[in-house]
Amino acid sequence: MSPPDALPRIHRHTLGELEITRIVELDEPFLAPHQMFAEATPEALAPHLEWLLPKALCPVTGKLILPIQTYVIRTPHHVALVDTCIGNHKSLAGFKRWANREDDTWLRRLAAAGISPEQVDYVFCTHLHLDHCGWHTRLENGRWVPTFPNARYLFAAEEFAYAESRARAGEDPVFAENVLPVMEAGRGVLVAQDFVLDDTLWLESTPGHTPGHVSVHLQSRQLHGVVTGDLIHSPLQCHHPEWNFRHDENPALASLTRRAFLERHADAATLILASHFPSPSIGRFVRKHQAFEYRYLEP
Ligand SMILES: [Zn+2]
């Protein structure tokens, strides 16, 4: 039986001729603010509590609420996914909380949004961390196989090389479980960090969280949006672009990239499809004092 909340976690928007659907895998308290951002002391958080509580900061656990989700982009020509969450049966050496999941809610939500795995044409990936490429593969008779048998999986070459080096160092099973089986099945393509698929979808290099991190741009009829990936994790970082997430691998570069991204897209009024901002996640950056704030598209 499906849990009763399985179907409502689908959220649709349009951008010109593009249809954007958020498919949420998990949406729950993640870590206490100071565990994510060293600077997030009670004093630093105090001015933000009014808007953080209760949707972005759980009043019970005191943890920041953070969705793990996929953006599905339907163009007139393609069905594309951006990131594929955690997935099932993954060993996730560094983060046991999400290891060995057996929960097909994400797949059922995708089906409820009218998308079968066979229909997916492209799988984009902002970076190769465990919560962004899990459903790239699934376990079938003890073997990892691509979940989307007809898709081209696009990997930024620099991110691919970095993930491969971590795997060689024995640091991370993500490459072996989520990436290598896609390459071995002939479905993976290595692309530049500024790859352009067509006039509706392209990549922008946004390094710092990982070396080959990319954001995914979409455009239709002069309307423009971008899936952030993990260059920014929380709307708190709009107010404090210098706050790095503790897993930003190059903190100095991560803050430079974040500040420049906020500047650029606040000016352009770009629709922001934030990967981990609390639901409903989609909104715009707006300038405020010397920094920014986040305005959600819907309440
Ligand atoms: Zn992430």
Query: Per residue in 277-297, is it b (16+ CB within 10 Å) or e — as a string?
Result: bbbbbbbbbeeeeebbbbebe
**Ligand 1 centroid distance, CA of 27 (Å):** 12
Distance 275 CA to ligand 1 centre (A): 7
| Residue numbers in the chain where pLDDT is lower than 50 | 1-4, 6-7
Q: Which of 219, 195, 220 is nearest to 205 (CA)?
A: 195
For ligand 1, the distance from its centroid to the CA atom of residue 135, given in whole angstroms, is 14
CA of 72 to the centre of ligand 1 (A): 17
Residue with tokens 């969280």: 209
Q: How far is the CA of 205 from the centre of ligand 1 (A)?
A: 16
pLDDT at position 237: 98
Distance 131 CA to ligand 1 centre (A): 5
- Measured distance CA(137)–CA(91) in Å, rounded: 13
Closest CA to 239 of 35, 33, 59: 33
Distance (angstroms) between ligand 1 centre and the Cα of 289 equals 28
Interatomic CA distance for residues 213 and 224, integer angstroms? 20
* pLDDT tens-digit readout, 62-83: 999 999 999 999 999 999 999 9
Ligand 1 center from residue 261 Cα (angstroms): 17
- State which CATH number among 3.90.550.10, 3.60.15.10, 1.20.1090.10, 1.10.3720.10 fits the domain covering 10-296: 3.60.15.10
